[in-house]
Amino acid sequence: MPRKAARKGLLIQYEYCTGCHTCEVACKQEHNYPVGIGGIKLNEIITEKPDRIRIDYVPFLTEFCDLCAARTRRGEKPSCVKHCQAAIMWYGTVDELAKQMADKPRSVIQSPY
């Protein structure tokens, strides 16, 4: 029986995400997506406290993310990972990313398929 390929995904340490939207632009340019379509979407989460407001930026993969299959086949990083301005995105197998995640408290692993 053929061995199933390890599931791949992205680790995003959103603790340091600045909300710059560069990952969205990099994805659109790589895939030439039309307006309104993209493989990643930045979410803004606002938490109101009595003395302050906290804003977290958390990018999420959409159904249009193919994990940059053409690029990764050539041994290149996904476009969003390469261009992330805060260098807080990593591509790999979900198992590898889970190990990396251990010392990154505010982070998420996402795998679109």
Q: Which residues bind ligand SF4 (CB under 6 A)?
A: 17-23, 26-27, 30, 39-40, 42, 57, 59, 61, 65-68, 78-80, 84-86, 88-89
- The answer for residues whose C-beta is within 8 angstroms of residue 37's C-beta and 6 or more apart is 28, 64
**66 touches 39 (CB < 8 A):** yes
CB of 79 to ligand SF4, least distance (A): 4
Q: Which is nearer to ligand SF4, 42 or 109 (CB)?
A: 42
**11 touches 101 (CB < 8 A):** yes
Distance CA 24, CA 113 (A): 19
Q: Which is nearer to ligand SF4, 69 or 98 (CB)?
A: 69
CB of 24 to ligand SF4, least distance (A): 7
